[in-house]
Amino acid sequence: MATTDSRDADPRGLTSTHSDTAELRDAARRERVDTLNAEAESIRRIDHDRLRALCEQSFELACQCDIHGNQYEHGMAVALTLLAHRNSVIGESGAALSRAYQALALLDAETPSSLLADLYISIGWAHYASGDYVDALRDLMVANRMAETVGDRYLQALAMDRIANVYESTGHAPTAMEMQTIALGIFRDLGDSMGEALLLNNMAYTYLTLERYEAALESARATLAYAEVNGPIFLHMGVLDTLADVYLATGELDEAAEHSTRGLKIARTNVSEVDEADALLTLGRIRLQQGRIDDARETTMAALTINEKHRRSVEEYLCHELLADIEEQRGDIAAALVHLRRFHDLEREKVNEQTASRIASMRVEHQVESARKDAEIHRLRSIALEQEVEERRIAQATLQAQASLDPLTGLYNRGHVSVLAEDYGSALRRGLPVSIILADVDHFKEVNDTFGHLAGDRALIEIARLLRENARASDTPCRYGGDEFLVVLEGMPTDQVIASAERIRKAVSAHGVKHHSLTIPLTVSIGVATAEPGSGVSLAYLIERADRALYRSKHAGRNCVTAAGM
């Protein structure tokens, strides 16, 4: 009598059904990621906080491995690109570059696309905000070429406006105006009224440089009219500062002070420190012109403090330049010299003769490219240069990704703490408490020694998965050390943070990790610490408090949660 081996059974049995279900679940998760990213894209110029929440949620979903062990890299790249755009617009240049390079490492840098063009715009703008005009112009030119290649007129207009800002800042206002005029025409053809308003605000500064004051005033007023009815808060604050600058240039000091004070009030109401610093610097110039020397000094020092905090080097040296004038008028020549030296030191770092000559060289290159590189020898040299730039960019992107993402678990790693510190400070300024959950795997060395490092890696991957599943979209889980994990939580009361930590602890102890035919039991010891708004606690000290609480959990017998101060 013949027997049937189980291996000869119908392959469309339970295993196949389970696989089909998993595939459907993976497809649904990818679709959810795309939906979240699309929603974030639709509000990118309107609601920066909502954009951040949507992108962080989509990024966490995209990081989850599918049935084949693969992450949804395109979804991750889109979310990171949108976050980089947000960071660059609100002045967080370091965070913008970190996220942009992570996204770049996930994409095919050889194939032009709207996503790549968008990414290079964010990178270029972050460099511009840091005063790195050469790098800014290079990256924005790459973005412009890509946008033109793929036929994305919106991104082409945006890139041209950004390039114009670089030209205006480096003494090439006529070229800047030519590019802005073309970009304005594109936005009008597209019926993009917000894009038109943003561009008109930037054109006002170019008109100022060209001493076309009536045109500057007309452009800025058109932007204000849009912002007061339709525009987001950041545009309203920005154009009030622009109008203050225009009125200051024309000597209408009362009008300038009124608009600057309005912008400052909105910035403080909305806890926007970067916009607050811009308004304060403008107000400092106005007070100096009004002869209110002490007020000018106090206001400019406040602007300097914020700019130093956010490492806005260009704005720093502008503050020192103004303070040198203020101290001279106060009669304190020694203090004036201190600020003047600091001004020149910072200015040399960012805008020196070498930078100016390289800008001029790149301007010529761009004009030749716009003429389609008629000379063959120049075309070949340009191709060689582009290849070299791309090779260096890819290498840099890879290093940046390695510095911020843990390759084993897909979580952020310890190198991402500098970005977390920016978000941490922003949350406290918005009046939100910030908490740290610090978890350490109990007896992890014994797992490695007994079952091997492959089992240890699987344990870490499993714990990372459980952290994601038990975290909110706004939480940030990280692999902080070898077997140590950290979660940053914003806006959650301490008792809820402790409850969240307990859920993580119970989830880990309930699951264990599969290793061949065995299930290896796992537990974690957890420390919790919270910083309240106004406490002045740094992120490093908050982590240290959580670490001390974790140490107490270890001594209490492990597999438990301890809160700092309890």
pLDDT tens digits for range 128-174? 877 778 888 889 999 999 999 999 999 999 999 999 999 988 888 89
More confident residue, 6 or 261: 261
DSSP 491: S
* Mean pLDDT for the stretch of residues 402-420: 74
**One-letter amino acid of 156:** Q
* Mean pLDDT for the stretch of residues 433-456: 90
What's the pTM value of the predicted model, to 2 decimals? 0.57
Cβ atoms of 82 and 73 within 8 Å: the answer is no
* Mean pLDDT for the stretch of residues 536-540: 86
**Confidence tier at 16 by pLDDT (50, 70, 90):** low
**One-letter amino acid of 272:** S
The sign of the CA dihedral 445, 447, 451, 455 is negative
- Asked whether residue 343 carries a pLDDT value surpassing 90, the answer given is no
Average pLDDT of the chain to the nearest whole number: 83
* Mean pLDDT for the stretch of residues 221-226: 92
DSSP 528: E
Cβ atoms of 553 and 526 within 8 Å: the answer is yes
**One-letter amino acid of 501:** A
More confident residue, 455 or 395: 455
Give the CATH H-level superfamily of domain 406-566.
Answer: Reverse transcriptase/Diguanylate cyclase domain (3.30.70.270)
SS3 state of residue 272: coil
pLDDT tens column, 45-85: 888 888 989 998 999 899 988 888 888 999 999 999 999 88
* Mean pLDDT for the stretch of residues 323-348: 83
DSSP 533: T
Cβ atoms of 233 and 270 within 8 Å: the answer is yes
Q: Which of 136-150, 296-310, 371-385 is predicted least confidently?
A: 371-385
Q: What percent of the chain has pLDDT over 70?
A: 86
Other Cβ atoms within 10 Å of 413 Cβ, number: 19
Tokens of 405: 């993402």
Task: Measure the CA–CA gap between 18 and 532, rounded to whole angstroms.
Answer: 46
**One-letter amino acid of 142:** V
Task: Measure the CA–CA gap between 183 and 156, rounded to whole angstroms.
Answer: 8
Task: Measure the CA–CA gap between 230 and 208, rounded to whole angstroms.
Answer: 25
232 φ, ψ to 5°?
A: -70, 165
- Asked whether residue 110 carries a pLDDT value surpassing 80, the answer given is no
Expressed in angstroms, the distance from the first to the final Cα of the chain is 72
pLDDT tens column, 173-183: 898 999 999 99
Mean pLDDT comparison of 12-21, 448-457, 485-494, 513-522, highest-scoring range: 485-494
Task: Measure the CA–CA gap between 373 and 215, rounded to whole angstroms.
Answer: 35
pLDDT reported for residue 512? 83
Contacts of 335 (CB under 8 A, 6+ apart): 323, 327
pLDDT reported for residue 353? 38
More confident residue, 339 or 223: 223
- Asked whether residue 372 carries a pLDDT value surpassing 50, the answer given is no
Contacts 24+ apart (CB under 8 A), 283-287: 283/244, 283/257, 284/319, 284/322, 284/326, 285/248, 285/322, 286/244, 286/248, 286/253, 286/256, 286/257, 286/260, 287/257
**Confidence tier at 395 by pLDDT (50, 70, 90):** low
